[in-house]
Amino acid sequence: MNNLFDISKKVALVTGGSRGIGAMVAEGFVKNGVKTYITSRKHDACNKKAQELSNFGECISIPADLTDLKAMDDLVSKIKENEDNLHILVNNAGAAWGASFDDFPEIGWDKVMDTNVKSIFFLTQKLVDILEYSGTNDDPSRIINIGSIDGIGIPRMETYSYPASKAAVHQLTKVLANRLSDRNINVNAIAPGPFESDMMASTLDLYSEEIKKSVPRGRIGIKEDMVGISIFLSSRASAYITGTIIPVDGGSLVGRRNMD
């Protein structure tokens, strides 16, 4: 009972780990003794973040564009060449596209779906053998998919492919949890609400105070909020939890903050 949340000595891969929510999760893992690989499309940013996090533990950069299956294969090969085990896969890499309904382009649909949904499925498929090898019945390997409350509720902004993709991530999480449970792999999703990230930057610039007032907890999500749920879903404490979608949103889905 004393070490239910201990994740030290595990090995993790965090996609989109150079910034935003991915960087928060990666930092939390590294500071809690996890050997953490991060990947992102931008090489310099990925390498810089890994160098920064290496001041606190082990963090290795393997830049890759996960919409390119050849680049994904190269990433998987490098992980398997360097590690016998992979205990945690965080599928966080994502994209969004904003445009009015009448002007929304095909590229804005395909780019978001390929990044947010297709890459999760195929990266999981390619890493399932090492994840299965690393898990036990008592402490399964973990896949954590980063969804969004926009995949549950209705977003404020016109980002049509984004909420559709995150709803798909949530359903894919449940399907994979069912399929992989007998291989000692737990699959869960986090559905973040408003957090400070590059993807949310323009929205927060315009509506930060309005969003804070609408969130029952009265604030934007911070690093500790995301790290806490990620550690829980990676630790022995959640060994009996799979196929869940966990909102981390300050109560946003409950309803608007009572301002009376």
CATH number at residue 18: 3.40.50.720
Set 37, 133, 162, 207: catalytic member: 162
Residue 223 within any structural domain of the chain: yes
Residue-range definition of the domain harbouring residue 97: 11-248
Residue 146 belongs to a domain = yes
What integer pLDDT is reported at residue 255 of this predicted model? 79
Q: Label the pairing between strands 59-61 and 35-39.
A: parallel
pLDDT at position 211? 82
What phi and psi values does residue 207 have, to the nearest 5 degrees? Answer: -130, 20
What integer pLDDT is reported at residue 199 of this predicted model? Answer: 67
The pLDDT, as a whole number, for residue 41 is 95
Whether 59 is covered by a domain: the verdict is yes
The answer to whether residue 100 is domain-embedded is yes
Residue 134's pLDDT is 98
pLDDT per position in the chain (260 positions), as tens? Answer: 889 999 999 999 999 999 999 999 999 999 999 999 999 999 999 999 999 999 999 999 999 999 999 999 999 999 999 999 999 999 999 999 999 999 999 999 999 999 999 999 999 999 999 999 999 999 999 999 999 999 999 988 899 999 999 999 999 999 999 999 999 999 999 999 989 876 666 677 777 788 888 899 989 999 999 999 999 999 999 999 999 999 999 999 987 655 44
- Evaluate whether residue 31 is within a structural domain: yes
Instruction: Give the chain's domain count.
Output: 1
DSSP lists the bridge partners of residue 59 as 36
What is the per-residue pLDDT for 201?
A: 67
Residue 162 bears catalytic tag: yes
Distance (Å, whole) CA 215 – CA 232: 23
- Kindly state whether residue 259 falls inside one of the protein's structural domains: no
Q: What's the Rg (C-alpha) of the chain? A: 18
**Phi, psi at residue 126, to the nearest 5°?**
-75, -20
Answer whether 67's CB lies under 8 Å from 118's CB.
yes
- Domain-embedded: residue 257: no
Distance (Å, rounded) from C-alpha 119 to C-alpha 201? 24
pTM of the model: 0.94
Residue type, 98: G
CA–CA distance, 163 with 161 (Å, rounded to integer): 6
Q: Is residue 4 part of a domain?
A: no
Q: Which residues contact 260 (CB under 8 A, 6 or more apart)?
A: none
Q: What is the pLDDT of residue 208?
A: 79
